Amino acid sequence: MPGFSELPSELTILSGLALGLATSFHCVGMCGPIALSLPLQSKNRWMQLLAGLLYNLGRTVTYALMGLAFGLLGEGLSTLGFQKMVSIVAGTLMIATVFFPKLFSLTNDANRGMYSLVAGIKRGLKHLFTTKSFFGLFFIGLLNGLLPCGPLYFAVIVSAGTGQVVESVLFMVLFGLGTLPLLLAVTLLGNFVSVSLRNKINNFIPVIMVVMGLLFILRGLSLGIPFLSPTDEKLNMIIKKGEKTLHQIEQVNDSSSVDSVELKNKTFEIPSCCKQDNK
């Protein structure tokens, strides 16, 4: 299915990486203790590097699965004709999370459910920390990716707003890879990021969220801005192109069906050389 805009994939790549790099300073505070205490088998730097890569790969796989789930939702809504609305709603949610965070506070029942989920994840992590294997490091990353995280939820909203499964998964993978350098450095070098620097970067994250929210809203409004929001004429061209391709496929199928019917109903005459003389 063609995307509802001509937004180049390069912008998705850059935004995913940029968001991952920026929020990695937040990750140091939240996930840094896990990265620092990974059950490493050896003091060898190469082994530590491999362990850190496996851990972060596990997190990225979890993010990719989230991108797949929410990308299917976004593409399903786009298929039903809500392409623009998906982008506008996603952008509005991004901005609302910054200016009206209390709107997204969980109810008591939801809090209890979240607490149970986190408790289960922590039990799984505790068990995996005792295995001291590379297999366990990968699964520590998988479970770590499920822990509640504000920037992660924001990234999921962005991925759903792309309206395409492929772009959604790509965005989440690159978001995970964007957080990799700093967390990998923490695993190898220790917590070298000062609290003051981390706070300064974290204060800049809401600005990124608002800017990306505005971009998604503009994308859905179809104002004809180059590389950002196509006009309705462009949208119709894309839709008509897809319909034309489907029509050509149907014509080929219909032609094949007709040939098959004619072949089935055709009467073959027996050659005279093969007829028996009944006299």
HEC string of the chain equals: CCCCCCCCHHHHHHHHHHHHHHHHHHHHHHCHHHHHCCCCCCCCHHHHHHHHHHHHHHHHHHHHHHHHHHHHHHHHHHHCCCHHHHHHHHHHHHHHHHHCHHHHCCCHHHHHHHHHHHHHHHHHHHHHHCCCCHHHHHHHHHHHCCCCCHHHHHHHHHHHHCCCHHHHHHHHHHHHHHHHHHHHHHHHHCCCCCHHHHHHHHHHHHHHHHHHHHHHHHHHHCCCECCCECCHHHHHHHHHHHHHHHHHHHHHHHHHHHHHHHHHHCCCCCCHHHCCCCC
Query: 201 and 67 in one domain?
Result: yes
Query: 28 and 165 in one domain?
Result: yes
pLDDT for 61 equals 96
Residue 231 has pLDDT above 70, yes or no: no
Q: Which domain covers residue 256, as residue numbers?
A: 231-262
- In a domain, residue 278? The reply is no
What are 143-175's pLDDT values in tens digits? 999 988 888 888 998 888 888 888 899 999 999
pLDDT for 160 equals 87
Query: 205 and 123 in one domain?
Result: yes
The total number of structural domains in the chain stands at: 2
Query: 167 and 70 in one domain?
Result: yes
pLDDT for 60 equals 95
Query: 131 and 23 in one domain?
Result: yes
pLDDT mean over 24-36: 80
Say which residue, 8 or 87, is predicted with more confidence.
Answer: 87
What lies within 8 Å, CB to CB, of 137 at 6+ separation is: 38, 39, 51, 54, 55, 58
pTM: 0.71
Query: 249 and 223 in one domain?
Result: no
Query: 218 and 257 in one domain?
Result: no
pLDDT for 172 equals 94
pLDDT for 263 equals 45
What are 176-200's pLDDT values in tens digits? 999 999 888 888 877 677 777 777 7
Query: 130 and 36 in one domain?
Result: yes
- In a domain, residue 60? The reply is yes
pLDDT for 30 equals 75
- In a domain, residue 136? The reply is yes
- In a domain, residue 167? The reply is yes
pLDDT for 254 equals 57
| Cross-strand bridge partners of residue 229 | 225
What are 63-121's pLDDT values in tens digits? 999 999 999 998 888 788 787 888 888 888 888 888 887 766 666 656 676 778 788 88
- In a domain, residue 268? The reply is no
Query: 253 and 133 in one domain?
Result: no
CA 88 to chain centre: 18
- In a domain, residue 105? The reply is yes
Query: 245 and 148 in one domain?
Result: no
- In a domain, residue 18? The reply is yes
What the block records as the tokens of 272 is: 């005279």
Query: 216 and 170 in one domain?
Result: yes
